[in-house]
Amino acid sequence: MKLHRGINTPAGWLLLSLALLQGATPAASAPTAQTEQAIRHLIDHVSGSDMTFIRNGSEYTPLEAAEHMQKKYRHFRDDIDTAEDFIALCASKSLLSGKAYEVLDAQGKLRYTGNWLRAELATYRAHRP
């Protein structure tokens, strides 16, 4: 008695289709430990800074800004493979308005948060073993 009927049956086609779909579906990825460490550094850098953070025209403390970025990171975590992805998705602009985030230093110099964090990321990486 032959149990295997091959692909030319409805059940065979269904199994093949399911196998192909499963293989074609990208698995959710998560940042590597090294990327997680760099992102943690960036969030800590934000919270420990003396900057005023500007989002959609309103001012926020470093702690408020860091908490907001952390919340966005939790939301986008599966879409983030690099620290640069984190900056782009979580720390550069508002999802609602599309308006760029800014930082204001103690001397009154205004910069885009994304640029400020990319510079910090470069410094962080330059000092890593």
Which pLDDT tens digit goes with each residue over 19-63?
A: 444 443 344 567 899 999 999 999 999 999 999 999 999 999 999
The chain-wide mean pLDDT, for the chain, equals 85
Which ranges of 25-112 does DSSP label H, i.e. alpha helix? Answer: 33-47, 62-76, 83-90
Which DSSP category does 53 fall into? Answer: E
Which pLDDT tens digit goes with each residue over 86-102?
A: 999 999 999 999 999 99
Tell me how far apart the alpha carbons of residues 47 and 117 are, in angstroms, rounded to a whole number.
Answer: 12
Check whether 109 has a pLDDT greater than 80: yes
pLDDT at 15: 43
